[in-house]
């Protein structure tokens, strides 16, 4: 496994196949938690954190349990349960250990249970990376790398979108366009801009 492969996986997941603008996953927090940059950064950090751990666990579960016992068809329901449990454990761990982490991630963690971007990445790892011949550790490393890239891509878009929304709040927008309508127009333009990156790799 070469460095180029991992770099390609990160750039591809972050920019070219951006989880929000190209795959339209995680649109709920994209619109709901992007009014302030600070909230967007907190949510992005929480998503990155859970996405990486969830990818490692779901890939392992699929490779070592679901595939081995011939039950890959229950992967979706199994992944949902794993992600929901993981969020509970992470929240509990943070409550007990770190005040600063709780301050930045705590309120966003329950939201992640219903974030389809996490499930989308876990399913995508199985569809795009996993093969029965790929060695476990290579696949796991690639899955985690993809999750890091996807999480960073999520954060990049959340931060950019929240910054634009903050500026829009302070600008003179026609009353009919204020709030959600102008935000959706901005999201559409951002999506078109990212479409220009398709085909780079």
Partner 1 sequence: MLVPILVIASLVSLYIGSYLLNKKVEVPEEFKLLIDDIQCTSCHISTCSNKK
| Alpha-carbon distance values, 1 to 9, 58, 125, 154 (Å) | 12, 21, 17, 25
Residue 74 in the binding site for partner 1 (CB under 8 A): yes
Q: For partner 1, which residue of 22, 57, 111, 164 counts as binding (CB under 8 A)?
A: 111
Q: For partner 1, which residue of 5, 64, 76, 85 counts as binding (CB under 8 A)?
A: 85
Contacts with 114 (C-beta within 8 Å, 6 or more apart), sequence order? 28
Q: For partner 1, which residue of 27, 45, 57, 107 counts as binding (CB under 8 A)?
A: 107
Nearer to partner 1, 28 or 198 (CB): 28
Query: Tokens 């954060």 belong to which residue?
Result: 155
Q: How far apart are CA 79 and CA 118, in angstroms?
A: 9
Per the CB < 8 A criterion, the answer to whether 117 and 33 are in contact is: no
Contact mark string toward partner 1, 30..69, x via CB under 8 A: -xxx-------------------------------xx--x
| Alpha-carbon distance values, 175 to 53, 163, 198 (Å) | 43, 20, 35
Q: For partner 1, which residue of 20, 91, 124, 194 counts as binding (CB under 8 A)?
A: 91
Nearer to partner 1, 13 or 83 (CB): 83
**Measured CA angle at 132 (ends 128, 136), to 5 deg:** 85
Nearer to partner 1, 95 or 178 (CB): 95
CB environment 93-114: b (16+ within 10 A), e (fewer): ebeeeeeebbebbbebbebbbe
Residue 181 in the binding site for partner 1 (CB under 8 A): no
Question: Cβ 103 to partner 1, closest distance in Å?
Answer: 5
Residue 136 in the binding site for partner 1 (CB under 8 A): no
Per CB under 8 A, residues contacting partner 1 are: 28-29, 31-33, 65-66, 69-71, 73-74, 77-78, 81-82, 84-85, 88-89, 91-92, 95-96, 99, 102-103, 106-107, 110-111, 113-114
């Amino acid at each position: 496994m070469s460095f180029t492969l991992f770099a390609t996986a990160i750039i591809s997941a972050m920019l070219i196949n951006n989880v929000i603008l190209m795959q339209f996953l995680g649109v709920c927090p994209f619109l709901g938690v992007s009014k302030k940059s600070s909230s967007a950064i907190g949510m992005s950090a929480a998503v990155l954190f859970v996405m990486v751990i969830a990818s490692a666990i779901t890939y392992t579960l699929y490779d070592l349990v679901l595939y081995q016992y011939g039950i890959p068809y229950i992967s979706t329901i199994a992944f949902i349960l794993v992600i929901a449990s993981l969020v509970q454990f992470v929240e509990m761990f943070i409550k007990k250990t770190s005040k600063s982490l709780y301050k930045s991630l705590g309120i966003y963690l329950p939201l992640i249970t219903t974030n389809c971007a996490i499930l989308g990445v876990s399913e995508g790892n199985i569809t795009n990376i996993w093969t029965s011949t790929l060695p476990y550790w290579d696949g796991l490393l690639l899955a985690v790398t993809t999750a890091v890239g996807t999480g960073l891509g999520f954060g990049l878009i959340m931060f950019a979108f929240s910054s634009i929304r903050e500026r829009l709040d302070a600008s003179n927008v026609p009353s009919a366009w204020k709030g959600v309508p102008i935000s959706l127009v901005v999201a559409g333009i951002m999506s078109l801009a990212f479409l220009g990156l398709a085909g780079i790799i």
